Structure 1
Amino acid sequence: MRYCALASGSNGNCYYIAEGKDAVLIDIGINTKHVEQRMANVGIDPASVKAIFITHEHTDHIRGVTVFCKRYQIPVYMTAGSYRGSRLKLPENLVRIIRGDDEIAVGSLTIRGIPKYHDAQEPCSFLVSNGDINIGVLTDIGRICDNIKHAIRQVDILLLEANYDEELLDTGSYPFFLKNRIRNGWGHLSNRMALETFLEYRTPRLQHLILGHLSGQNNKVELVQQAFSLYCKDIRLSVATRRQETELFDSQFFFVEKHEKHFVHQLCYQGTIVFPES
């Protein structure tokens, strides 16, 4: 499977996941021009996208949906609450209303909704699978519920929200009502909350952690890397940013690397490989 964050942050979110010729986008919160440019940067053909899945109706997740879906005639899957709250006027033939916990097949991919706590009308995150590898895109999470715990335990690749640093939020310029909205259990995960969640519910199958949806004013890439790097020695750690797409990752790389490490370990154990003394 191939995957990347085309945009991730409070100013716009868009995530690409593909298996062979089957590709989906989760959210389009940046304009179509920027989606197309960032796709071109990593060699993605926009016309290859078979479906768009929307997590909820906030602007940073739907800003570019209307133009993109019309231009490429791509169906848009979202809950009734999200569609109602979005006030989008999409062509009827491209709208697919789903329940928050539905499973949808798109070619060789299965996309499963994960209902969650967030200050939107009927929000859900998504887990995308090809039957062997599971990729979870878990952002905009007010607090950790059983659905989120279950999803994290199943994933091989996890894109997890690390929205704000608690000290930066406390001392920043946001008004009190906005600070409270962010941290009241219906808003977002802090770096600390994301780290605690990762440590408690990760399993040995997890190979790649991507932290995303960073706040522009209340977080920094350096703070996220500092918080997580100590605990990610055995997996790949990436941070998705607001202004630039990540590289186009290939899950095959991680599983080949894991197999090679296991093979070398077995050879060392059997005495076949001897490393020189330092």
Structure 2
Amino acid sequence: MKYCSIASGSNGNCYYVAKGDDAVLIDVGINRKHVELRMARAGIDPRSVKAIFITHEHTDHIRGLMVFSKRYQVPIYLTRGTYEGARLPLPSHLVHFIQPDDRIKVGELTVLGIPKYHDAKEPCSFVVTDGKVNISIMTDLGRGCDNVKHVIQHSDVLLLESNYDTEMLLSGPYPYYLKNRIRGGWGHLSNAEALQVFVENKTSRLKHLILGHLSGENNTVELVESVFRPHCKGIALSVARRTEESPLFYLAEEEIKVISPIVFEQTTLIYEEISFYSSSM
């Protein structure tokens, strides 16, 4: 399994997961030219993308969707509520409606919808699995509900939202209504909330934690790393950036490698085993 963050943050989100010749994108929240540029730097061919899955209709998740999907004729999977909220003139032959908890096969991959709390019409997160390895993309979480906890317990790779530092948010320039929206149970997880749900539900199965969807105004990479690193013994830790792609990671049964052509360092972890996907999710 290969995976990377192409963009992550309130200014745009896009995530890539692949196995063999089968690749999917979760959201296309930056414009098509930037998606292509970042893919090229990571060694990814945009023509390899077999499907796009959209979590919800907010602009930072769909900004580049229409142009990218039309250019490469990529099928789009999204809930009817997300489609209605997006109000994009998407080509009808590319649109496939799903339920928030559907399971969709894309070649060797299965993409599972995970219903969540967020201030959108019919949102869901996604887990991408090949039946053995589970790569979970969990952002825009109003709260660490039972679905979120279950996903963490069964993840090999977890990209988890850690959106804001509470003190920075409360003392910052955002208007009162926006501060309440963000922290009111239908917006985003704070660093403290993300840490709590992570620590309480992580298992020995987890190999790689990536923190994502950081606020540009109410968080910093350094702060997030300092909060989580003491709790990641034996787990590779990364922070997805707002302005650039992550390395392209490769997860095999016994190691994680950085395989991006522009990053030559390599991170390797050794494990006892990778367990099979839990059918109860």
Q: TM-score range by the shorter chain?
A: over 0.9
Tell me which residue corresponds to 2:256: 254
What is the correspondence of 1:235-246 to structure 2 with a 5 Å cutoff? 235-246=235-246
What SS is found at the alignment partner of 1:122? coil
Give the CA deviation at 1:15.
0.1
- Distance (Å, rounded) in 2 between the aligned partners of 1:148 and 1:68: 29
Query: Does residue 87 of the first structure (1) align with residue 99 of the second (2)?
Result: no
What SS is found at the alignment partner of 2:119? coil
Instruction: Show CA shifts across 1:107-143 (max 9, x none).
Output: 0000000000000000000000011100000000001
- Distance (Å, rounded) in 1 between the aligned partners of 2:122 and 2:28: 17
Bigger fraction of residues in helix: 1
Instruction: Show CA shifts across 1:201-235 (max 9, x none).
Output: 11110000000000000000010000001111211
Give the CA deviation at 1:254.
3.0
Query: Does residue 182 of the first structure (1) align with residue 182 of the second (2)?
Result: yes
Instruction: Show CA shifts across 1:71-129 (max 9, x none).
Output: 00000000000000000111110000000000000000000000000000000000000
Tell me which residue corresponds to 1:51: 51
Letter in 2 for 1:217: E
Scaled by the length of structure 2, the TM-score of the pair is 0.91
Tell me which residue corresponds to 2:260: none
- Distance (Å, rounded) in 2 between the aligned partners of 1:147 and 1:233: 25
Letter in 2 for 1:226: S
8 Å CA contact 2:80–2:122 kept in 1: the answer is: yes
Tell me which residue corresponds to 1:140: 140
Tell me which residue corresponds to 1:75: 75
Letter in 1 for 2:202: R
Scaled by the length of structure 1, the TM-score of the pair is 0.92
Give the CA deviation at 1:65.
0.2
Instruction: Show CA shifts across 1:133-162 (max 9, x none).
Output: 000000000011111111111110000000
What SS is found at the alignment partner of 2:177? helix
- Distance (Å, rounded) in 1 between the aligned partners of 2:208 and 2:13: 19
What SS is found at the alignment partner of 1:258? coil
8 Å CA contact 2:6–2:35 kept in 1: the answer is: yes
- Distance (Å, rounded) in 2 between the aligned partners of 1:27 and 1:258: 31
Tell me which residue corresponds to 2:2: 2
8 Å CA contact 2:249–2:256 kept in 1: the answer is: no
Give the CA deviation at 1:258.
1.6
Letter in 2 for 1:257: L
- Distance (Å, rounded) in 1 between the aligned partners of 2:43 and 2:131: 25
**RMSD, aligned α-carbons:** 1.2
What SS is found at the alignment partner of 2:269? helix
- Distance (Å, rounded) in 1 between the aligned partners of 2:207 and 2:148: 18
Tell me which residue corresponds to 2:39: 39
Letter in 2 for 1:142: G
- Distance (Å, rounded) in 1 between the aligned partners of 2:31 and 2:210: 23
User: How many residue pairs were aligned?
Assistant: 261
Tell me which residue corresponds to 1:29: 29
Greater Rg over alpha carbons, structure: 1
What is the correspondence of 1:63-142 to structure 2 with a 5 Å cutoff? 63-142=63-142
Q: Name stretches of at least 5 consecutive residues in structure 1 with no aligned partner.
A: 264-278
Tell me which residue corresponds to 2:261: none
Give the CA deviation at 1:257.
3.2
Q: Name stretches of at least 5 consecutive residues in structure 2 with no aligned partner.
A: 258-267, 274-281
What SS is found at the alignment partner of 2:270? helix
% identity of equivalent residues: 63
Tell me which residue corresponds to 1:232: 232
- Distance (Å, rounded) in 1 between the aligned partners of 2:270 and 2:137: 22
